[in-house]
Amino acid sequence: MKKTLLAAALCGAFTMSVHAESSVTLYGLLDTGLVYTNNQLGHSNWQLASGTTQNTVFGLKGTEDLGADLHAVFKLEQGFLMNNGAQAFAGSAFGSQVWAGLQSDPYGTLTFGRQFDVMNDAVGPLTAGFNTWGGSIAAHPFDNDNLAANSVVINNSVKYASPAFHGVTFETMYSFSNKAGAFANNRSYGFSLAYAQGPLNLAAGYLQFNNAGNGSGAVTTADTSANFIAERQRIWSLGGNYTFGAATVGLVWSHTQIDNVAGVFSFGTGTYLGAAGDATGTLGGSLRLDNYEVNAKYALTPALSVSGAYTFTHGAYNGSSPAWNSAMLQTDYALSKRTDIYLEGVYQNAHGAPADSVLSHAMLNTLSPSSTSTQVAVTVGMRHAF
């Protein structure tokens, strides 16, 4: 009898430990390097930079098995600058991400908190600006379509991500303004659809911001999450890539409509340009942008790769037709599975915008704007993941 009771107790304890199985992981990515720019605010510049290609972050992520194919999941992530230790998102303890939710193997994942948007999740990985083989500095002008490497993080958001079904996944999200009597003031919503099967990857998405940067809400100017201060920003995107052997080739199109735009954030200066008529010019009215990107990556050896991308951006702004040509070339060498070094050059030329407009100045992402229509940057750096 005693043996039977002991066996039952041990079996129950074992069952509880299986259902309560959990894990917490500390992780991070460090990205730093030297950057030479031919023109920043009228001067050439050498600088030690952080996060030029990928966000420098550390974080905690975890999961707990709740049984019946259900898991509790969470992530706490902070972005910071390696050159001075400052927070990447000023005033935010976990500015990069902070969310918790439930993951069901057959039904998908529902999460709540400060998160990256669904279009960035699906279409972003198909662009050079999102990946380590291009990165943030290679983003489309002003990161107008929010497809660069996780530069915009959305507050007060509820996100659903489906499980894969024959290679197809779906995501949708809604981000609240959290304002009494102003439900739609600074809110965001969007959806995306992706297909991944063998060497082929396809994705499409839509994202909308209402009154972005207007006080607290989905995206704010206080933590620089808003790329634009505007009444409304709508983004459509579509992309795909194909891998054959050591090569991957991709195409991405995005369309951005910005109504009553008042300012654009400059990562290099840490300020919003255009709203008050500063040294780089004014900004106001409606702005339409179409981005056409072609990119490629080739692995010369398991450790050495080369990559490149070209983006043509065509715009419409208060009766003018601004346009940008942006090009990126990188070579990367992996010292190990977690550490690599890279050399990257990026070029941008702007033309067609009114001379007194912010849009007439070249401005590579993460750098201060040029005083002219052209900007060139070369960076040599290293990354370490843990």
Report d(CA 145, CA 287) in Å as an integer: 12
pLDDT band at 29 (very low <50, low <70, confident <90, very high): very high
Q: Which domains does the chain have, with CATH numbers?
A: 24-385 (2.40.160.10)
- How distant is the alpha carbon of residue 63 from its chain centre? 24
pLDDT band at 67 (very low <50, low <70, confident <90, very high): very high
Report d(CA 142, CA 123) in Å as an integer: 17
Of 87 and 3, the structure prediction assigns the larger pLDDT to: 87
| Residue 11 pLDDT greater than 50, yes or no | no
108: CB partners within 8 A, 6+ apart: 160, 161, 162, 163
Q: Give one DSSP letter per residue of 290-324, joined into a string.
A: EEEEEEEEEESSSSEEEEEEEEEEEEEETTB--EE
Q: Can you give the pLDDT at residue 274?
A: 86
pTM above 0.95, yes or no: no
Lowest mean pLDDT among 16-25, 112-121, 147-156, 176-185: 16-25
Query: In 3D, which of 252, 52, 29 has the Cα closest to residue 134?
Result: 52
pLDDT band at 213 (very low <50, low <70, confident <90, very high): confident
pLDDT > 70: percent of the chain: 93
Q: Which residues pair with 310 in a beta bridge?
A: 294, 327
Averaged pLDDT score across all residues of the chain? 91
Owner of token pair 């052209």: 374
| Residue 193 pLDDT greater than 60, yes or no | yes
Q: How many residues does the chain have?
A: 386
DSSP letter (8 states) at residue 88: S
Q: Can you give the pLDDT at residue 225?
A: 84
Contact predicate 212/187, CB 8 Å: no
Label the pairing between strands 374-385 and 271-273.
Answer: unpaired
Provide the terminal-to-terminal Cα distance of the chain, rounded to the nearest Å: 52
Of 181 and 113, the structure prediction assigns the larger pLDDT to: 113
Q: Can you give the pLDDT at residue 172?
A: 98
| Residue 6 pLDDT greater than 60, yes or no | no
Beta strand spans in 123-227 (E):
154-161, 168-175, 187-197, 200-212
Q: Can you give the pLDDT at residue 268?
A: 86
pLDDT band at 20 (very low <50, low <70, confident <90, very high): low
Three-state DSSP at 369 gives coil
Q: Which residues pair with 170 in a beta bridge?
A: 193
What tens digit of pLDDT does each residue of 86-143 get? Answer: 888 877 788 899 999 999 999 999 999 999 999 999 999 999 999 999 999 999 999 9
Of 287 and 270, the structure prediction assigns the larger pLDDT to: 287
Q: Can you give the pLDDT at residue 12?
A: 46
Kindly compute the dihedral angle of the four CA atoms of residues 348, 354, 357, 361, in this order, to the nearest 10 degrees: 20
Three-state DSSP at 138 gives helix
Q: Can you give the pLDDT at residue 3?
A: 43
DSSP letter (8 states) at residue 357: B
Query: In 3D, which of 173, 227, 233, 185 has the Cα closest to residue 209?
Result: 233
Residue 149's identity, in one-letter code, is A
Query: In 3D, which of 369, 350, 299, 362 has the Cα closest to residue 132?
Result: 299
Residue 63's identity, in one-letter code, is T
| Residue 276 pLDDT greater than 90, yes or no | no
